[in-house]
Amino acid sequence: MEFIDISIPPTIYRTNNPEHYGKLAIDFMPETTPTVASFDNLQQVKEWLVNKFGEEQYQEWFPSGLAEKLPDGQVSYVN
């Protein structure tokens, strides 16, 4: 069983994986930990992270919240 290094914030990005194309994915460290994919928006990512790791850990990883620049130039943001 792999352990997640919670001292390193996970990487969140849009995946090009054919099964989850365009969905948000989360990569944890170490890199051998499987990617968690298939979130439609940042709110779902935040809810999953808070559910699994707690509000305090989420705030430690992302003190300014989560943001993503959208193709139309807008910014999606979740505190």
- The predicted-structure confidence for 28-77, as pLDDT tens digits, reads as follows 988 888 888 889 999 999 999 999 999 999 999 999 999 988 777 878 87
Residues forming a β-bridge with 12: 26
Quote the pLDDT of residue 59.
97
Contact (Cβ atoms closer than 8 angstroms) between residue 48 and residue 19: no
Cβ neighbours of 69 (radius 10 Å): 9
Sign of CA dihedral 52, 53, 54, 59: negative
